[in-house]
Amino acid sequence: MNYRKRLMVKPGSRVKLERFDPRFSDVAESRGEIETLTEQNRERIGEMQMRLYAEKRHSVLIVLQGQDAAGKDGIVKHTLSAVNPLSCNAFAFKVPTAEEAAHDFLWRHHKAAPARGWMTIFNRSHYEAVLVERVHKLVPKKVWSKRYEEINAFERLLHRNGTTVIKMFLHMSKDEQLQRFKDRIDDRAKRWKISEADYEERKFWDDYMEAYEDALSKTSSKYAPWYVVPSDHKHIRNLVASQIIADTLEELKISRPKPSVDLADIRKKYHEAQES
């Protein structure tokens, strides 16, 4: 099934998240088939990233957004672990530093955008400026309401300079988030992730959903579309995310560059070295 086409937010459309099933109950594949397809997608991503780095004409920016525990770290670990870390960066954007806050809200994100040949992952991103800052009223509406246009211009600039932008909203239900918080408490290896703030933020769930709907509706474009990734089931989330990334990379039609040396001469020197 072409999950990428099915879950893309059509540019200009009005998003209602209640129309998207976070459990993706009608998924066609079995658990075993899902794991096999995900591994195949991981291999495709690894191959395409190698070509991306070798060719050095394109770059890729993957934007991951979602509520706490939706699986942003999980996507990086389980879907993108096949990429070469020598040509891939990941940034987890937190509260702006004093230096960052002294600049415009896009400054720190533009600095982190990928160079040609590189893949970059934003674990949370410039969209926090129309999500957290909006929900908690850190800036007035007259400020954040103008940021959608500025974000579109920023992503258009990246696109014109050869960066493919892949944006995924990890759509998780409120009940599933609560269960994952409990799992973190019960798992010694994950307890460090939980905080009182996680539970406090749940009070603003409806406000966040409204903010996400506006962001998805106003910033999904032909050059930087949004995808709503169902995330209540981790294995389905990983399959969908990996397919979106792999299919997008393959559409770039990145080829391996031709050798920059005379292969016949290199082979001759190899045989000479063997004989000496």
* Contact of 221 with 164, CB cutoff 8 Å: no
For the entire predicted model, the pTM comes to: 0.93
For the chain, give percent helix, strand, coil, nearest 5.
55, 10, 35
Q: Round the CA-based radius of gyration of the chain to a whole number and report it.
A: 21
Does residue 237 surpass a pLDDT of 90?
Answer: yes
CB burial class (10 A; 0-12, 13-18, 19+) of residue 106? Answer: middle
Report which of 8, 79, 76 is spatially closest to residue 37, judged by C-alpha positions.
Answer: 79
Tell whether the torsion through CA atoms of 30, 74, 242 and 19 is positive or negative: positive
Q: Where are the beta strands (DSSP E) in the chain?
A: 59-66, 88-92, 119-123, 163-171, 226-230
DSSP assignment of 39-57: HHHHHHHHHHHHHHHHH-S
Query: Which tokens in the block code for residue 217?
Result: 């509706």
As a CATH number, domain 3-275 is 3.40.50.300
* Contact of 242 with 40, CB cutoff 8 Å: no
164-213 tens-digit pLDDT: 999 999 999 999 999 999 999 998 888 888 888 889 999 999 999 999 99
119-163 tens-digit pLDDT: 999 999 999 999 999 999 999 999 999 999 999 999 999 999 999
Q: List the single range of 75-84, 93-102, 256-265 with lowest mean pLDDT.
A: 256-265
Residue 120 one-letter amino acid? T
Query: Which tokens in the block code for residue 194?
Result: 């939980």
Q: How far from the centroid of its chain's Cα atoms is residue 129's Cα?
A: 17
* Pairwise CA distance, residues 129 & 118, whole Å: 25
* Contact of 144 with 133, CB cutoff 8 Å: yes
Query: Which tokens in the block code for residue 144?
Result: 């954040």
Q: What is the reported pLDDT for 272?
A: 75
Q: For 191, which DSSP code?
A: G
